[in-house]
Amino acid sequence: MEFGIIGTAGIARKSVLPAIDASEHAVGAVASRDLERARAFADEFDIPRSYGAYGELLEDGGIDAVYIPLPNTAHAEWTIRAADAGLDVLCEKPLAVDADQARDVAARCEDRGVTLMEAFMYRYHPRTERAIELAREELADVRSVSAAFKFPLFGDPDNVRLDPDLAGGSLMDVGCYAVSAARQFLGEPDRVYAHTHDSRAVGVDTELAGILEYHDGASARIASGFDTQKVQRCRVEAANGWLEVEDAFDAPLEEPLELEYRIDGRHAVETFDPVDHYRLQVERFADYVESGARPRTDADEAVANMRVIDALYESAERGELRALP
């Protein structure tokens, strides 16, 4: 598969482009709103073609699919435009700015018959797969999940994560992982409550704490933020045990990872060899395209995650418990 990359964001440079290069696939073209930036990016990574407009890349007959690492507000537009060009799409999370927009994107991709996959790379890591397997097959009656993703974002006031016009904020940037994790273990909540804080007075949540409530009394606690040191943790507690992972989401690529659990009195720590989950994501995307199967992180999954995110923001704004629509 030959990819076109729409945008030159850091996630593309640092993680996804090297993952594509390490796979059996390739990057054939890159586009930026600045031609010189596109050319410099192409020269750095030996990409054969570069464009000074995103739309020009979509007309490149040599590419099979696009990867979209643009700011959040641009995901829906360029996913739709790529679908209209008949190209399969791997789009960075979140797919859209809200659930309604995500539904529109899903419908267009379905209508055009293209594969759409949201780039939640952690879902393709073997440790994540194993944790979900343990929870489904061995943990009895999961009662609570705690998931947090925080990191320090200081010294860069122009960062897109701090721009409300680009759908910034900690929940949209990293809290979406915590929401996703809670949903993998507990399913879709009935009600949510959230508190946010804007420590920079820029119009986005730099900290968020939320509760997801379920009809059977189970609950999840999620947290995200830009104001503390790095935290990436997920813990699942059930009637007969628990499991816990550190570095749960953007895990180190060159270090072994552990999954610790105690189930029915049996304590274990499983170790997973270093693996590039970005590469696994790319390879799985290509497999989905070839087979025609729906991705694990497909449009329906994106819509479901955004429903919870929307409700959390509504709760924080109104200061009250919000039922999911």
- Which tens digit of pLDDT belongs to each residue from 217-267? 999 999 999 999 999 999 999 999 999 999 999 999 999 999 999 999 999
Last residue of a domain, one of 94, 121, 148: 121
Looking at the fold, whether 48 and 79 belong to one and the same domain comes out as yes
- What pLDDT is stored for residue 258 in this prediction? 98
The burial class, CB within 10 Å (0-12 / 13-18 / 19+), for 36 is exposed
Q: What is the CATH number of the domain that holds 313?
A: 3.30.360.10
Looking at the fold, whether 80 and 193 belong to one and the same domain comes out as no
**Banded model confidence at residue 126, pLDDT cuts 50, 70, 90:** very high
- What pLDDT is stored for residue 97 in this prediction? 98
Residue 239: inside a domain: yes
Last residue of a domain, one of 101, 121, 141: 121
Residue 202: inside a domain: yes
- What pLDDT is stored for residue 325 in this prediction? 82
Looking at the fold, whether 231 and 99 belong to one and the same domain comes out as no
Joined together, the tokens standing for residue 107 give: 């419908």
Residue 285: inside a domain: no
Residue 284: inside a domain: no
The pLDDT of 1-14, averaged and rounded, is 96
Looking at the fold, whether 104 and 163 belong to one and the same domain comes out as no
The answer, yes or no, to whether residue 169 has pLDDT greater than 90, is: yes
Looking at the fold, whether 140 and 266 belong to one and the same domain comes out as yes
CA distance 118 to 242: 29
Residue 294: inside a domain: no
H helical segments located in 23-98? 35-45, 54-58, 72-84
CA distance 177 to 182: 9
Looking at the fold, whether 129 and 98 belong to one and the same domain comes out as no
Query: Whole domain around residue 317: which residue ranges?
Result: 123-275+301-323
Q: What is the CATH number of the domain that holds 107?
A: 3.40.50.720
For the chain, the domain total comes to 2
Looking at the fold, whether 147 and 102 belong to one and the same domain comes out as no
- Which parts of the chain are beta strand (E)? 2-6, 26-31, 49-51, 65-68, 88-92, 116-119, 142-150, 191-197, 207-213, 219-225, 231-238, 241-246, 257-263, 266-272, 322-323
With beta carbons less than 8 A apart as the criterion, state whether 233 and 245 touch.
yes
The answer, yes or no, to whether residue 155 has pLDDT greater than 90, is: no
Is the four-CA dihedral 165, 169, 171, 176 of positive or negative sign?
positive
Residue 296: inside a domain: no
Q: Are strands 219-225 and 142-150 parallel, antiparallel or unpaired?
A: parallel
The answer, yes or no, to whether residue 297 has pLDDT greater than 90, is: yes
Last residue of a domain, one of 121, 147, 177: 121
Residue 258: inside a domain: yes
Strand order from edge to edge, sheet including 65-68: 49-51, 26-31, 2-6, 65-68, 88-92, 116-119
Joined together, the tokens standing for residue 12 give: 């593309």
Which one-letter amino acid corresponds to residue 55? G
- What pLDDT is stored for residue 43 in this prediction? 96
Looking at the fold, whether 10 and 128 belong to one and the same domain comes out as no
Residue 292: inside a domain: no
Looking at the fold, whether 270 and 214 belong to one and the same domain comes out as yes
The pLDDT of 69-77, averaged and rounded, is 98
- What pLDDT is stored for residue 211 in this prediction? 98
> What is the CA 240 to chain-centroid distance, rounded?
30
Q: Specify the residue for token string 């990409």.
A: 47
Looking at the fold, whether 111 and 159 belong to one and the same domain comes out as no
With beta carbons less than 8 A apart as the criterion, state whether 149 and 122 touch.
no
**Banded model confidence at residue 166, pLDDT cuts 50, 70, 90:** very high
- What pLDDT is stored for residue 271 in this prediction? 98
Looking at the fold, whether 267 and 129 belong to one and the same domain comes out as yes
The pLDDT of 119-145, averaged and rounded, is 98
Looking at the fold, whether 171 and 75 belong to one and the same domain comes out as no
The answer, yes or no, to whether residue 90 has pLDDT greater than 90, is: yes
Share of the chain above pLDDT 90, in %: 99
**Banded model confidence at residue 156, pLDDT cuts 50, 70, 90:** confident
The answer, yes or no, to whether residue 38 has pLDDT greater than 90, is: yes
**Banded model confidence at residue 172, pLDDT cuts 50, 70, 90:** very high
- Residue 211: name the closest of 100, 296, 324, 292 by CA: 324
